[in-house]
Structure 1
Amino acid sequence: MTTMTVKAPAIGSFFKARELGIVLALVALVGYTAIGNPRFLSGQSIRDILLNTAILAVMAAGQAVVVITRNIDLSVGSVLGLSAFAVATMMSANPDLPMIVALLAGLAVGAVCGLLNGVLVRYGRVPALVVTLGTLYIYRGLAYSWAGGSQVNADELPRHFLSFANDSLLGIPWLVLIAIVVVGGVSLMMRNYRVGRELYAMGSSPPAAELAGIKVARNLLGAFLLSGALAGLAGVLFAARFGTVDAAAGTGYELNVVAAVVVGGVAVFGGSGSVWGAGLGALLLTVIGSALAVLDINQFWQQAIVGALIVLAIGADRLVAVRLARSLRKRDSHV
């Protein structure tokens, strides 16, 4: 009991500090960019940043749960693309379908892909990195095979589907509201419900979780299913936001999603971090990309900066883990 009491505050305070650091970095970046180009704070610019963040944040919420269990899902970009093309094709062929059907269809496509990932990881006894790297190409191949080189254009989609990305409730775009609900809901599950505590325990020590009677198989399948479903939902938001959809939609998104989660304070070694932090990480990465474009800086630097942030985040995680282990050894030696 003493070990748990020492460990939780140390890790908890560290990640609260990490999230505060992201907020301060956002303030500094926005301030610097606005000084260089005041148009960065225009209403349209802020709206575009929030809409782009919404898609990434929805995916990051699911990815955070998977990473907390000491796994990873590299297939989310391909799941987004497959879902976006499937839903766009469905809506173009059936323009009278309501938006809720499109959202449910995207969730279903993603859930099937995520469940397959979970089954292969759990029962195939194959590392998640290998499984999801393979399904990344499988899902992308399915999308290319289905599309056959064609694409769904915005003029083929119903007006209510395309307007969803621009419609708002009380001045807040629907995409942003969905992202807030998703990130807040998943965060609430992880913090306040038993399944969340079990997922953290699985990431902290998988063997100990098994011995404690935690249903590891069920929880692992649930984590991957959630990640896939949210990637599928993001595919619907992507299609509504950009209109034109082809088989290449979502290419490269998986790296941005992983970066958002890691930069947001979710430890790649599992067992620590928060979903809200992953959402803040998504916002930071989106603002970085927009700021570089506004300041007319080569987009290569965006990739370099994101890579540097990932390395720093992993290094910080490792440093805290080493310091914590050292302090526990010292304490045990005095007992």
Structure 2
Amino acid sequence: MSAVTAGRSSRGVVDLVFRARELSIVAALAVLVAVTAGVNGNFLSGQGMKDIFLNASILVLLAVGQSVVVITRNIDLSAGSVVGLVAFTTGDFLAADHGRGVVFAVVLGVAIGALCGLVNGLLVSFGRVPALVVTLGTLYVIQGLDHLIAHGRQINAVDLPPALLALGNGTVLGVPYLPVIAVVVMLAVGYYLRSYASGRDFYAIGSSPEAAGLAGIPVRRRVMGAYLFSGALAGLAGVLWLSRFGTVVADAANGWELQVVSAVVVGGVAITGGVGTVYGAALGALLLTTITSALVVLKVNPFWQQAITGALLLLAISVDRLLALRVARVLRRRNARHGS
């Protein structure tokens, strides 16, 4: 067997393992929904399912952007603070001038988010500062800027254009706009990462930045692009947050950065980079949102919601490690057989 064929076979093993991981999340979702619906039949009501998908949509967008960063063996802890900054700043502009509509809000929000992502990307890729340090720092800087702009004020739904509020609560053919937007973005990004050479570069960088550089991949530019994209999606999520809830204060989405990372890791994107899909990350976001909704329906103490999320994160990281070791052993055996 040729080296190329062996490489494709090895990649097939990895894809099979992590496809099984995504199927296990679907199974867990099905069990969770069935058990909760058995205890409280209202959980599967039309409004109940609509609320779950609406609440998951923003987290899915953030998880898709975070996935691209994590695949490159980096992390973005500033996503939640970007959502808060964009939601308040965009709402402030719209409240001051009702003539500005949805398109203006989306463009402004994405631009602000992209600028935050650009700062992160420049510091990580060209400044070579550890991603954890950079994004933790920008998290606090952005939060401080948000509080400075807000200055104790809040944005109310009555101050916003009706078209923007319709985006967050309206439907098309009975399906809310927000889940449709999240699914379209997820499918587009997933297709790009798998079908384009530049998309596959992110996986190569996550697997081995040094080897990717030797292969001629522009590592710094790709990493900066990952942060730019993550910031832009966080900006879009901020606009959707504003349209969904209407009332926004300075600490909107506070603490969501940990939920985003949890969704990505639970969804099978390896924290060590190079492995995972945006589809798995989206499923992880949906699982975490469904768990939260189920615990509320079952009237479980809010403390356990956070505890379960933390336990899932630890379990996912442990499973990733065990799977990585298992896959490595399988690949070594295959390579040994092909080499003999």
| TM value normalised by structure 2 | 0.96
Deviation at 1:324, TM superposition (A): 2.7
Q: Which residue of the other structure, out of 156, 159, 165, is the alignment partner of 2:159? A: 156
Match status 1:73 vs 2:87: no
C-alpha deviation, 1:274, in angstroms: 0.5
How far apart are residue 325 of structure 1 and its match? Answer: 2.7
C-alpha distance in structure 2 between counterparts of 1:50 and 1:105, whole Å: 25
Q: What does 1:121-270 correspond to in 2, within 5 Å? A: 121-270=124-273
2:325 and 2:196 map into 1 onto residues whose CA distance is 29
Which residue of 2 is the match for residue 281 of structure 1?
A: 284
1:300 aligns with 2:303: yes
Which deviates further from its counterpart, 160-169 or 18-27? 160-169
* 1:192 Cα deviation from its structure 2 partner: 0.8
* Conserved? CA contact 2:72–2:223, under 8 Å: yes
Q: How does 1:34-45 map to 2 (within 5 A)?
A: 34-45=37-48
Distance, in Å, in 2 between the alignment partners of 1:55 and 1:22 is 19
Counterpart in 2 of 1:102? 105
Q: CA RMSD in A?
A: 1.3
CA deviation after TM superposition for structure 1 residue 7, in Å:
2.9
Contact 2:94 2:101 in 1 (8 A): no
Structure 2 Cα separation of the partners of residues 162 and 302 of structure 1: 29
Q: CA deviation at 1:118?
A: 0.3
User: Matched residues in 2 for 1:90 and 1:30: separation?
Assistant: 40
- 1:4 is displaced (CA, Å) by 2.6
Unaligned runs of 5+ in 1: none
One-letter code aligned to 2:215: A
Matches of 2:149 and 2:174 in 1, distance apart? 38
* Larger deviation, residues 292-301 vs 158-167: 158-167
Deviation, 1:328, is 4.0
Give 1:169 deviation, angstroms. Answer: 1.3
- Cα distance in 2 for partners of 1:26, 1:328 equals 31
TM-score, normalising length from structure 1?
Answer: 0.97
**Partners of 1:10 and 1:133 in 2: how far apart?**
36
Q: Which runs of 5 or more structure 2 residues have no equivalent in the other structure? A: none
**Cα distance in 1, alignment partners of residues 115 and 272 from structure 2:** 26
The equivalent position to 1:92 in structure 2, one of 92, 95, 101, is 95
Q: Which residue is 1:11 aligned to?
A: 14
Are 1:53 and 2:51 counterparts? no
CA distance in 1 between partners of 2:301 and 2:123 (Å): 40
Deviation (angstroms), 1:150: 1.0
Partner of 2:36: 33
Structure-1 separation of matches of 2:315 and 2:15: 19
Shift of 1:14: 1.2
